[in-house]
Amino acid sequence: ETGVTQSPTHLIKTRGQQVTLRCSSQSGHNTVSWYQQALGQGPQFIFQYYREEENGRGNFPPRFSGLQFPNYSSELNVNALELDDSALYLCASSLEVGGAETQYFGPGTRLLVL
């Protein structure tokens, strides 16, 4: 296994609510990336954090925000949930930033917005 964990595994919310998803990276991994995977699509990059600072962002609105903590854990927060936010949310950790590093994915959180 990758050593990356995510919680919760499944979540059901209603439109307009807020959600916080959590990720625990491999020990020593300074970089965490979050991805959204809609059904039948490949994962889409949301943003990346390196040493607790945002280090790159994909084409997602500001209601998607994140935090990274010194203990290798991180959060993805989504405000004002929309139906299209229903997806599998994946976090991936890597040792350092730079692109060539292998990213290790957690099992994901399945979010359903009703």
Partner 1 sequence: RKEVEQDPGPFNVPEGATVAFNCTYSNSASQSFFWYRQDCRKEPKLLMSVYSSGNEDGRFTAQLNRASQYISLLIRDSKLSDSATYLCVVNFGNEKLTFGTGTRLTIIP
Cα-based distances in Å from 92 to 9, 31, 38, 43, 102 = 15, 8, 17, 11, 9
Shortest distance, CB of residue 16 to partner 1, whole angstroms? 27
Q: How far apart are the first and last CA of the chain?
A: 32
Q: CB-wise, 12 or 80, nearer to partner 1?
A: 12
Q: CB-wise, 19 or 94, nearer to partner 1?
A: 94
* Residue ranges binding partner 1 (CB under 8 A): 2, 33, 35, 40-45, 48, 50, 55-56, 58, 90, 92, 97-100, 102-108
Place of tokens 């490949």: 42
Question: Residue 75 is encoded by which pair of tokens?
Answer: 């959060």
Q: CB-wise, 43 or 66, nearer to partner 1?
A: 43
Shortest distance, CB of residue 33 to partner 1, whole angstroms? 7
The answer to whether the beta carbons of residues 57 and 47 sit under 8 Å apart is yes
Shortest distance, CB of residue 79 to partner 1, whole angstroms? 22
